Structure 1
Amino acid sequence: MNRISTLLILSFFIFLQNGLSQETPHSVFNANRGGDQQWLTYQDNHRALYRVITNQAFHLLEERAAKVLEIHTATDWKRYQKETKTALCGSLAKFKKTPLNARTTGILERETFTVEKILFESHPGFYVTAGLFLPKKRQKPAPAVIYACGHTELGFRSETYQHVILNLVEKGFIVLAFDPLGQGERLQYPNAETGKSRVGSSTKEHSYAGVQNLLSGTSLTDYFIWDGIRVLDYLETRPEVDMNRIGMTGRSGGGTQTAQIAACDQRIYAAAPECYITSFKRLLQSIGPQDAEQNPYNAIANGFDHADYLHIRAPKPTLVITTTHDFFSIQGARETFAEVQKPYTAFGKPENIQMVEDLGVHESTRNNRESLYAFFQKHLELPGDPTDSKTAPFAEEELWVTPTGQVGTSFDGETVFSLSRNYFAGKKVTESGLPEIVAQTAGIDFQRKLTAAVYTGKFTKKDVLVQKYFLENNREDYGLPVYVVSNENENSGKLVVWFHPEGKEQVFEEPLLAELVQDGHTVVCADLPGTGELNDPEFSGDGVIQGIPFNYTFGANLVGKSIPGIQAGAIDLVHQFIHTEEELAGKEKIAVVQGLATSAFLHFATVKKSFGKAVFLNFPNSVSDLFNDEFYNPEEAFAVAPGSLLYYDYPALTEYLSASGVGVFMSEKLSDNRKIIEFINSR
């Protein structure tokens, strides 16, 4: 053997020894080719939760699009309008029109107009702050424009929004601008000392309140729309206003409100949503679901899309105002506009639907503002010059309606938190009907079928053997990471399936694991969507509160699903795996469920009974406790199925399992290890 050959062989053995001595990567998707490279088609597996949501959304939106394609005549469109309006506005029936108790708290004088500071109640004790801008030279009665502001802590006092308001006033329009809840003088969680919100920005104010409302089957959208309806009721009390010539506009969040309120209240004759209209498909493809009020309850599941805001209004005049580089996709706006032309044409008024598009980002451009003025001048019959003029905005404090600049520190009134309790009414469910209602509420279908358990290697950790798998399924949207943990020399015991809220790796931090394996039990643990290797740490959105990404919650609810419902579907994959894998199938199966993983497991186990025993470690607070705590824990709320509190709570599901013959052991502390093992070992 020559010297070169000898060196090559020695080098190979040195490489082999060093390579095998390195710790085997723990990821189930590791491709075993050095470094941290993963299977190519699973490199974005951490987006599993979002992919489940969007795949369902796109499927439902395709069904809706096919339905819309079959609508042609005016008669068919009227039928569709009625159905769609019910889907959006039907939930408002829980609200009742009560006295507005409106009053003027102050008046500002300018040379050409006055501003009345208005306070009224959209619900008893729930105050709305507004400014009524009255041109001194105007028609009698005059057309009025409702102005809804976007996401800003200043509400309608923002210089950007005042500029449009004052231009409209100078052109002879009466303008009523109001603060949405969570903005301006209507913070829902005000800090009395700082005057700022205790939960964060306006989008956080909305989302924090919105998630809590979802627990009881209500979207915050309802409260936003109802405020707008009561604004119209207030305008009806003003003799200066011609109620046959009412317009509404607003940008960004104000565009959302304009689209929603104008769809639900036909008193708005001309509507011009700005920098909002797109389509749910393009929204989900680009920036994802936004804060709470932009997501009507189960909207996509109910066959609703952005175009339906406008379909409902046809043939009333509507102007869609867009910019080319808005984060609300311009492509979605174009596609929506093309669709909405159909009913307007069927009703013989194709000229009443318009779209203006200007170069810009998420902003109000001069060209778009002038198009807005011209639109209202034409359709509200107030001819004039649409030129955008310079304005002199008021200082924020000048436009305060309340003494302190905040309703919450000026009056002892209601908040969304207190109102939601007034309007909540639970529904009784029989024990036999519980599985079906749980499946419907959480969006569980169990149609995901295991197609392969892909073995990717093994490693040892803390003196236990860990075998790695990922579970493929017929929907091909993610692979489910699974560990099978055992004592290499003795595994004749039972099968313990452990669900941890942070994923499979965290199980190794619990002393109970070593004791179970030492007793000869095999432990299976998995990453459910949103945890472990199926967690996307870079996911962000305007509904993230204290690090909890509620944009997932809003997206899931749009398509009729929930986070625990999606995770229950993943538990079913684990269930299929342990019943088909030869070395696991014959063992007695016990579940160990820890912390907030309890929600997903209870949803799964109520619908599909599969474990003879269940051990619950650190059982979470009830959903009822979350609903009744003004400053609830966002992490706990993330694990709840929207609408579940109407029908059931965690204790009720646990009682159902016990009544169904499942042995249940509750432990508040992991120091109960010996008792837990005795329970697992018992017959």
Structure 2
Amino acid sequence: MPRPRPALAPALELPAWSRRNVLQWSVGATLGAPWSQGLLGQETPATTLAPLNRFPRMVQEFFVEQVRAAEQLGLKRKTALRSQADAEAYVREVRELIQKSFGPFPEKTPLKPRITGALERDGYRVEKVIFESRPDFPVTANLYVPKGRKFPLPGVVGSCGHSLNGKAEKAYQSFCQGLVRQGYLVLIFDPIGQGERLQYEHSHDGEVPVRPGVGEHIHAGNQQFLVDEFFGSWRAWDGIRALDYLLTREEVDPRHIGITGNSGGGTMTTWLAGVDQRWTMAAPSCFVTTFRRNMENELPADTEQCPPRCLAYGLDHDDFLAALAPKPVIVLAQEQDFFDARGAEEAYGRLKRLYALLGKPDNVQLFVGPRPHGYAIENREAMYGFFNRSTGIAEGGTEPELTLEKDEDLQCTPTGKVADLKPQRTLFSFTQEKARDLAAKRVSLESGDLKAAIQDVLKLPAQHDPLDYRILRTIGGRRYPRKFFTTYAVETEPGVHAIVYRLTDETHISRPTRGVDHCVLYLGHQSSDADLRNEPLIKELMTAEPGVPFYTCDVRGLGESTPDACGANSFLSQYGSDYFYSAHGIMLDRPYLGQRTHDVQSVLRWLVQQGHTRIHLAARGWSAIPATFAAVLVDSVTQVTLKNSLKSYQQLAETEFYRWPLATLAPGVLAKFDLPDCYLALQAKQLRQVDPWGPLMEPDGNA
């Protein structure tokens, strides 16, 4: 029977799911107790041994080096610019690379806008607007329209940060009122998963708690990767369609169209500058820094803040704003922000040089406010002044007196939920539909074609021989099935080690003993150390093949190299270190799952170097997925046992609620193959599957 689920509070009682909240999010609150229960074994408090972890900084430092190399790739191009022609060519190049990262956008469909009400205020009117960015995918927005002025007037699109109440957040109401009182039409819209656009409203009575804001973004966005979609592109498309709607209004002067937003809204302001050059000015707040600063500072970011392949292309935050050059741009930062102001200064310096080459050095500016993260009054006034100088609509930038509205008074829908509109689709319904379309088009792959597809999807690097390794000192008292074990740190690529244990009945402190061609290699779910004390499959494997050398392996980021980054005990949280590196793997075009598969391949090759040419590969849970791919690819694997392996990516993509983390998902996989294709191929290697797991990481019958 399914495990009992915790009771969940009604949606309106949930805390505002801002980025600041998420950075403080604990493991239990993140994914619910059932998700993390038992993942590291079943020891009781009286008998628990802390899992071994001798390489907690390994993964962090590896990714730091990768991101630094990507930054240098981009800087090399920037420093080579010498003339206006060079700068113009660079702007064209970054626009093309950004489009490759965000992928092709869909065809534009009718907006079907409707005004559901209005608030008449002194000096302006707030119209309640609903339009469709995609068929049956409604966007709720407020349009602030000045009164008593001669039209057309400049227009601004406002992009919200991670506020639970979306467009009604005080800081966002403030800049909308501040702009409209100075003569701008302002359209601000709810992001997906915020305000009136919650996508998982019903989940609060369901099996998996999906919190508004960041929680919805990551849950939806991770799943989208399976069908080769990027949540940031969906967010950007909403912004593009918001601009389309704003330009339908005769009150708007298309010669003066701005975009601004804070935090997540600063992200979308930056991305939108990169993907649509109709903007004439931009003011991102509390986002722009550098990818290197975020990585070095261990700062996770939402799915939409991690564009696929952008680091592989050498792109950085400043490049998205460079795509708008030489149009006016002001970078707004805060001195006490978690988005490092040093990175904002570095981005500004790069833009300043580009703008100088383009002959418009004064069109790019930087303002650093004195406060922590947020669109505070100093930053808003810097934006007003900058936009006013760009448009000539007003002088100065002092914020006028404001009267903030109640959230409910700004709602566009009768109930405050687009979920109650008919017809209406959720983001998940689009993911499910595309997964089914891809399944209908997929063809069965022959062995060679399947191997090539795995290599392509996972972006696996070339293997190298010989593999060097370290022999670590002995640690006793671990209560393993055999009395002794030797630890080998196998270098799978520079700076990365897979940690291998060889269990023995007698003490052994040197290289592996040769002379036996057969062995067993077991990959633990999240820690070989924990599984060796608690996993029945290990005892079963040892009993079935007595006398056969028995090894275990922790791939990067698991077990002995579980990261201690992104805050204390963040590993299992939805916004923690495992997600952090998975997202960066996608930006680097080296999926984290592919990196772990490479580790398994490398250890298998290392075992062959030790004389083991017939290998029984066994794995459980998370590690069963890279083990599956490696087993298909490596000929020395002659037998395969998988426990708690994911049944199929197709099922996960078609199921609204799931628990598998991003580190276990292969980006774009369903366009080419699925796990059952691998399982079919492994029948030739005596595949045995034990208690496969469905999307909820439970036995498939309960998924």
> Please, what TM-score do these two structures have when normalized by structure 1?
0.85
Instruction: Using the TM superposition, give the Cα deviation of residue 600 of structure 1 relative to its aligned residue in structure 2, in angstroms.
Output: 0.7
Deviates more, 1:497-506 or 1:114-123: 497-506
Instruction: Using the TM superposition, give the Cα deviation of residue 292 of structure 1 relative to its aligned residue in structure 2, in angstroms.
Output: 0.8
Structure 2 CA distance for aligned equivalents of residues 369 and 356 of structure 1: 10
SS in 2 for 1:612: strand
For residues 291-338 of structure 1, the C-alpha deviation after alignment (integer angstroms, 9 at most, x for no partner) is 111111121112211111111111011011111221111111111111
Matched, 1:451 2:468: yes
Who is 2:556 aligned against? 529
Instruction: Using the TM superposition, give the Cα deviation of residue 542 of structure 1 relative to its aligned residue in structure 2, in angstroms.
Output: 12
Instruction: Using the TM superposition, give the Cα deviation of residue 538 of structure 1 relative to its aligned residue in structure 2, in angstroms.
Output: 6.0
Who is 1:520 aligned against? 547
Instruction: Using the TM superposition, give the Cα deviation of residue 476 of structure 1 relative to its aligned residue in structure 2, in angstroms.
Output: 4.7
- Give the greater-gyration-radius structure (CA): 1
**Quick check: 1:404–1:410 contact (8 Å CA) kept in 2?**
no
Q: Equivalent residues in 2 for 1:337-416 (5 A)?
A: 337-416=348-427
Who is 1:665 aligned against? 688
What letter matches 1:468 in structure 2?
A: T
Instruction: Using the TM superposition, give the Cα deviation of residue 200 of structure 1 relative to its aligned residue in structure 2, in angstroms.
Output: 1.0
Who is 1:282 aligned against? 293
Structure 1 CA distance for aligned equivalents of residues 411 and 541 of structure 2: 64
Deviates more, 1:616-625 or 1:476-485: 476-485
For residues 42-66 of structure 1, the C-alpha deviation after alignment (integer angstroms, 9 at most, x for no partner) is 95x1233333333222222212221
Instruction: Using the TM superposition, give the Cα deviation of residue 549 of structure 1 relative to its aligned residue in structure 2, in angstroms.
Output: 4.2
Structure 1 CA distance for aligned equivalents of residues 158 and 692 of structure 2: 55
Query: Aligned to 1:605, which of 621, 631, 635?
Result: 631
**Quick check: 2:502–2:550 contact (8 Å CA) kept in 1?**
yes
1:638 to 1:587, Cα distance in 2 relative to 1, 3 A:
closer
For residues 79-121 of structure 1, the C-alpha deviation after alignment (integer angstroms, 9 at most, x for no partner) is 3323322332344534110000100000111121111100000
1:474 to 1:510, Cα distance in 2 relative to 1, 3 A:
closer
**Quick check: 2:617–2:631 contact (8 Å CA) kept in 1?**
no
Query: Aligned to 1:73, which of 83, 96, 113?
Result: 83
Who is 1:23 aligned against? none
Instruction: Using the TM superposition, give the Cα deviation of residue 268 of structure 1 relative to its aligned residue in structure 2, in angstroms.
Output: 0.9
1:166 to 1:458, Cα distance in 2 relative to 1, 3 A:
closer
**Quick check: 1:94–1:423 contact (8 Å CA) kept in 2?**
no
Who is 2:532 aligned against? 507
Structure 1 CA distance for aligned equivalents of residues 359 and 93 of structure 2: 21
1:598 to 1:307, Cα distance in 2 relative to 1, 3 A:
same
Query: Aligned to 2:489, which of 460, 466, 471?
Result: 471
Who is 1:619 aligned against? 645
What letter matches 1:566 in structure 2?
A: Q
Structure 2 CA distance for aligned equivalents of residues 350 and 548 of structure 1: 39
SS in 1 for 2:473: strand
Instruction: Using the TM superposition, give the Cα deviation of residue 531 of structure 1 relative to its aligned residue in structure 2, in angstroms.
Output: 1.8
Who is 1:168 aligned against? 179
Aligned-pair identity (%): 29
**Quick check: 1:298–1:560 contact (8 Å CA) kept in 2?**
yes
1:638 to 1:411, Cα distance in 2 relative to 1, 3 A:
farther
Structure 2 CA distance for aligned equivalents of residues 302 and 288 of structure 1: 21
1:399 to 1:534, Cα distance in 2 relative to 1, 3 A:
same
Who is 2:503 aligned against? 485
Who is 2:574 aligned against? 545
Matched, 1:212 2:223: yes
**Quick check: 1:129–1:178 contact (8 Å CA) kept in 2?**
yes
Instruction: Using the TM superposition, give the Cα deviation of residue 466 of structure 1 relative to its aligned residue in structure 2, in angstroms.
Output: 2.8
Who is 1:62 aligned against? 72
Structure 1 CA distance for aligned equivalents of residues 585 and 503 of structure 2: 32
Instruction: Using the TM superposition, give the Cα deviation of residue 194 of structure 1 relative to its aligned residue in structure 2, in angstroms.
Output: 8.8
Structure 2 CA distance for aligned equivalents of residues 149 and 367 of structure 1: 18
Who is 1:498 aligned against? 522
Structure 2 CA distance for aligned equivalents of residues 253 and 669 of structure 1: 38
Q: Equivalent residues in 2 for 1:141-220 (5 A)?
A: 141-191=152-202, 198-220=209-231
**Quick check: 2:517–2:612 contact (8 Å CA) kept in 1?**
no
Query: Aligned to 2:672, which of 647, 657, 679?
Result: 647
What letter matches 2:64 in structure 1?
A: T
Instruction: Using the TM superposition, give the Cα deviation of residue 492 of structure 1 relative to its aligned residue in structure 2, in angstroms.
Output: 6.6
Structure 2 CA distance for aligned equivalents of residues 535 and 542 of structure 1: 8
Who is 2:15 aligned against? none
1:379 to 1:546, Cα distance in 2 relative to 1, 3 A:
closer
Structure 2 CA distance for aligned equivalents of residues 226 and 322 of structure 1: 25
Matched, 1:119 2:130: yes
Who is 1:13 aligned against? none
Structure 1 CA distance for aligned equivalents of residues 665 and 235 of structure 2: 23
SS in 2 for 1:634: coil
**Quick check: 1:190–1:198 contact (8 Å CA) kept in 2?**
no
1:209 to 1:474, Cα distance in 2 relative to 1, 3 A:
closer
Who is 1:593 aligned against? 619
For residues 533-578 of structure 1, the C-alpha deviation after alignment (integer angstroms, 9 at most, x for no partner) is 2213664579943989423321111111222212122213422432
Query: Aligned to 2:453, which of 421, 437, 449?
Result: 437
1:129 to 1:474, Cα distance in 2 relative to 1, 3 A:
closer
Structure 1 CA distance for aligned equivalents of residues 203 and 56 of structure 2: 41
Structure 2 CA distance for aligned equivalents of residues 559 and 492 of structure 1: 40
Structure 2 CA distance for aligned equivalents of residues 395 and 514 of structure 1: 62
Who is 1:656 aligned against? 681
Structure 2 CA distance for aligned equivalents of residues 548 and 628 of structure 1: 27
Query: Number of aligned pairs?
Result: 625
Structure 2 CA distance for aligned equivalents of residues 300 and 577 of structure 1: 31
Structure 2 CA distance for aligned equivalents of residues 562 and 284 of structure 1: 16
SS in 1 for 2:104: helix
Gaps of 5+ in 1: 1-34, 671-683
SS in 2 for 1:93: coil
What letter matches 1:646 in structure 2?
A: A
Who is 2:5 aligned against? none
Structure 2 CA distance for aligned equivalents of residues 400 and 202 of structure 1: 17
Structure 1 CA distance for aligned equivalents of residues 576 and 384 of structure 2: 42
Structure 1 CA distance for aligned equivalents of residues 457 and 243 of structure 2: 34
Who is 2:21 aligned against? none
**Quick check: 2:174–2:402 contact (8 Å CA) kept in 1?**
yes
SS in 2 for 1:229: helix
Instruction: Using the TM superposition, give the Cα deviation of residue 192 of structure 1 relative to its aligned residue in structure 2, in angstroms.
Output: 8.5
**Quick check: 2:281–2:328 contact (8 Å CA) kept in 1?**
yes
Q: Equivalent residues in 2 for 1:229-378 (5 A)?
A: 229-378=240-389
Structure 1 CA distance for aligned equivalents of residues 375 and 536 of structure 2: 59
Deviates more, 1:563-572 or 1:127-136: 563-572
**Quick check: 1:274–1:321 contact (8 Å CA) kept in 2?**
yes
CA RMSD of superposed structures (Å): 2.9
**Quick check: 1:545–1:634 contact (8 Å CA) kept in 2?**
no
Instruction: Using the TM superposition, give the Cα deviation of residue 447 of structure 1 relative to its aligned residue in structure 2, in angstroms.
Output: 4.8
What letter matches 1:484 in structure 2?
A: R
**Quick check: 1:116–1:132 contact (8 Å CA) kept in 2?**
yes
Structure 2 CA distance for aligned equivalents of residues 408 and 307 of structure 1: 37
Query: Aligned to 1:629, which of 628, 635, 655?
Result: 655
What letter matches 2:455 in structure 1?
A: A
SS in 1 for 2:627: helix
1:448 to 1:109, Cα distance in 2 relative to 1, 3 A:
farther
Deviates more, 1:248-257 or 1:531-540: 531-540
**Quick check: 2:490–2:499 contact (8 Å CA) kept in 1?**
no
Structure 1 CA distance for aligned equivalents of residues 132 and 348 of structure 2: 36
Query: Aligned to 1:580, which of 601, 606, 609?
Result: 609
SS in 1 for 2:283: strand
SS in 2 for 1:574: helix
Instruction: Using the TM superposition, give the Cα deviation of residue 181 of structure 1 relative to its aligned residue in structure 2, in angstroms.
Output: 0.8
SS in 2 for 1:46: coil
Instruction: Using the TM superposition, give the Cα deviation of residue 473 of structure 1 relative to its aligned residue in structure 2, in angstroms.
Output: 2.3
